[in-house]
Amino acid sequence: MKTYKVYLVLLILAFSCTSKQHKKEVPVSKPNIIIIYADDLGFGDIGINGAKGVKTPNIDFLAENGINHLDAHCSAATCTPSRYSLLTGSYAFRNKAEVLPGDAPLIINPNKETLPSMLQKGGYKTAVIGKWHLGLGSGKVDWNKEITPGPKEIGFDYSFLIPATGDRVPCVFVENQQVLGLNPDNPIEVNYLEKLDGYPIGLENPDDLKQKADPQHSQTVINGISRIGYMSGGEEALWKDENFPFVLTDKAKHFITENKENPFFLYFAFHDIHVPRAPNKRFAGKSSMGPRGDAIAQMDWCVGELMNHLKESKLLENTLVIFTSDNGPILDDGYKDKAVELLGSHKPAGIYKGAKYSIYEAGTRMPTIVFWPGNIKPGQSSAMLNQVDLFASLASLTGGKLSEEFAPDSENHLDAWLGKSNIGREIMIEEAFTLALRKGNWKYIEPQERPTPDWLVNKEVETGLMTTPQLFNLDDDPEETKNIASEFPEKVEEMRNALNEIKRK
């Protein structure tokens, strides 16, 4: 009877979808799926990839018992575009997705299929817990009412959000699209352009701050930390940065417990290790690198808590866990937290050149681990992968539907994600302030007239912006030290054409 049902499902799929993920028949299964999404965590920031200044035993355990991917990428070198691609299966440049202010409208079109809506249609209960940064509402957000559209409208049954980033106002959690703990008599107002009354301003009170900050991060002071943007009201609802790991992990555990009996999809998006790095005192001194390293230890603890909960709930074998990050590492991102001074011999991006905001490999090559006990043969893989493909790959796994109209850049590489094949993408775009194209281990970086933004100039980030083309062969030169564009003009031409073709798609 069971076998009959599986064949029936396959037959229906074969007839009902012309979509690319069903080119070959794959057995359909519906494990729980958890994407653990760290923020600003570099390739080299985890033990298994060579971290020196901090230990990450829980993440390493996943890697040692799963697949550690060595050439897996987020779609862009900043947060909003990477998250956009992960959830929509579309490269972010198509929607000009860039880092959003904290009061921006939702950038995902609720009329389009998304990764969570596809899984929801397939019978999954879906949740996003943690950092959102994809905008909310459709114009000027009123933080005192239900905020729509938001996660619900793009396929999440449950949401518990840090609405933008930890360094942006409003510093409140938004649960199911309502500010948590808001006193209606003390409404919240947010303005990114003009000062509002109520909270102190960092620039005017620099001595009262837990961490000094650059001028961009020196506006509203909440919990002793100055942020980007102005806010008034809402004191009862304010978050405490030091409690993020406990609050978010508890919400994740609760969601898992509630959905033990049915398939669930949890997009668990940490605040760590984004600035402001204010790890709980429990993690103080756990690394030799100050708050940035301690935040890594804190994040690793959250991974351990989550995995213990899955184990206690007897869900380990039936849950596919993907651990990765949204963009490359950065030491100084606006706060004086000694990340530069205490780095020692630790290499946040491993051997790779660049950082967050950079078009070089460190910008998008992410620590990426896939863990699914009993279903994956432990090992490592150098298949070229991109998070934009998780939509099509997870559709393939779960029997979900997908059409080019909705996820134009998403390719099914399920076998490569699961370590069953070493062949991933042939060709892939990388995004930062410019675009790059990977074709196997050839890498072309498009010339760009726009210079590195002023606020980034002093932060020792090699953005990779040049007015002339760059070409690297990562086989011989994974560190991107030798620009060989002038030696291989035909290769440059071929790569430029291939990039333009994808852009036109």
Per CB under 5 A, residues contacting Ca ion are 39-40, 79, 326-327
Distance CA 173, CA 165 (A): 11
Instruction: Confirm or reject binding of residue 332 to ligand NG6 (CB under 6 A).
Output: no
Least distance between ligand NG6 and beta carbon 133 (Å): 5
C-beta of 39 vs 409, nearer to Ca ion: 39
C-beta of 165 vs 358, nearer to ligand NG6: 165
Instruction: Confirm or reject binding of residue 333 to ligand NG6 (CB under 6 A).
Output: yes
Give the x/- contact pattern for ligand NG6 in 135-174, rule: CB under 6 A. ------------------------------x-x-------
C-beta of 42 vs 478, nearer to ligand NG6: 42
Q: Tokens in use for 20?
A: 């690319």
Q: Where are the alpha helices (DSSP H) in 207-290?
A: 244-258
C-beta of 74 vs 303, nearer to ligand NG6: 74
Q: Which of 251, 274, 286, 292 binds ligand NG6 (CB under 6 A)?
A: 274
Tell me whether the omega of the peptide bond preceding residue 445 falls within 30 degrees of 0, making it cis: no
Q: DSSP states of 70-138 as a string?
A: SSEE-SBSSHHHHHHHHHHSS-GGGGT--PPPTTPPP-S-TTS--HHHHHHHTT-EEEEEEE--S--SS
Distance CA 205, CA 210 (A): 11
Torsion of CA 55, 58, 59, 61, to 10 degrees: 110
Helix (H, G, I), strand (E, B) or coil at 223: coil
Instruction: Confirm or reject binding of residue 327 to ligand NG6 (CB under 6 A).
Output: yes
Tell me the window of 112-120, 245-253, 257-265, 326-334 that interacts with ligand NG6 (CB under 6 A): 326-334
Q: Output the CA torsion sign for 301, 305, 310, 316.
A: positive
C-beta of 41 vs 147, nearer to ligand NG6: 41
Instruction: Confirm or reject binding of residue 277 to ligand NG6 (CB under 6 A).
Output: no
Other CB atoms within 10 Å distance of the CB of residue 298: 28
Residue 333 partner contact from ligand NG6, Ca ion, none using kind-dependent CB cut-offs of 5 to 8 Å: ligand NG6
Instruction: Confirm or reject binding of residue 40 to ligand NG6 (CB under 6 A).
Output: yes
C-beta of 131 vs 413, nearer to ligand NG6: 131
Instruction: Confirm or reject binding of residue 79 to ligand NG6 (CB under 6 A).
Output: yes
C-beta of 366 vs 416, nearer to ligand NG6: 366
Least distance between ligand NG6 and beta carbon 42 (Å): 12
* Helix, strand, coil percentages for the chain (3-state, nearest 5): 30, 15, 55
C-beta of 118 vs 349, nearer to Ca ion: 349
Distance CA 8, CA 287 (A): 54
Distance CA 228, CA 220 (A): 7
Residues with Cβ within 8 Å of 258's Cβ and at least 6 positions away in sequence, in order, are 125
Strand 427-431 vs strand 435-439: parallel, antiparallel, or unpaired?
Answer: antiparallel
Least distance between ligand NG6 and beta carbon 71 (Å): 22
Which residue spans within 442-485 are E strands per DSSP?
442-445, 470-473
Give the x/- contact pattern for ligand NG6 in 379-408, rule: CB under 6 A. ------------------------------
Residue 177 partner contact from ligand NG6, Ca ion, none using kind-dependent CB cut-offs of 5 to 8 Å: none
Least distance between ligand NG6 and beta carbon 457 (Å): 11
CB 398 within 8 A of CB 392: no
Least distance between ligand NG6 and beta carbon 164 (Å): 8
Distance of CA 492 to the CA centre of its chain: 30
Q: How many helices (H) and strands (E) does the chain have?
A: 10, 20
Instruction: Confirm or reject binding of residue 216 to ligand NG6 (CB under 6 A).
Output: yes
C-beta of 275 vs 383, nearer to ligand NG6: 275
Instruction: Confirm or reject binding of residue 203 to ligand NG6 (CB under 6 A).
Output: no
Instruction: Confirm or reject binding of residue 75 to ligand NG6 (CB under 6 A).
Output: no
The closest residue (CB) to ligand NG6 is 79
Residue 167 partner contact from ligand NG6, Ca ion, none using kind-dependent CB cut-offs of 5 to 8 Å: ligand NG6
Tell me the window of 250-258, 327-335, 424-432, 481-489 that interacts with ligand NG6 (CB under 6 A): 327-335
Other CB atoms within 10 Å distance of the CB of residue 207: 5
Interaction site with ligand NG6 (CB under 6 A): 39-40, 78-79, 99, 133, 165, 167, 216, 228, 274-275, 327, 333-334, 455
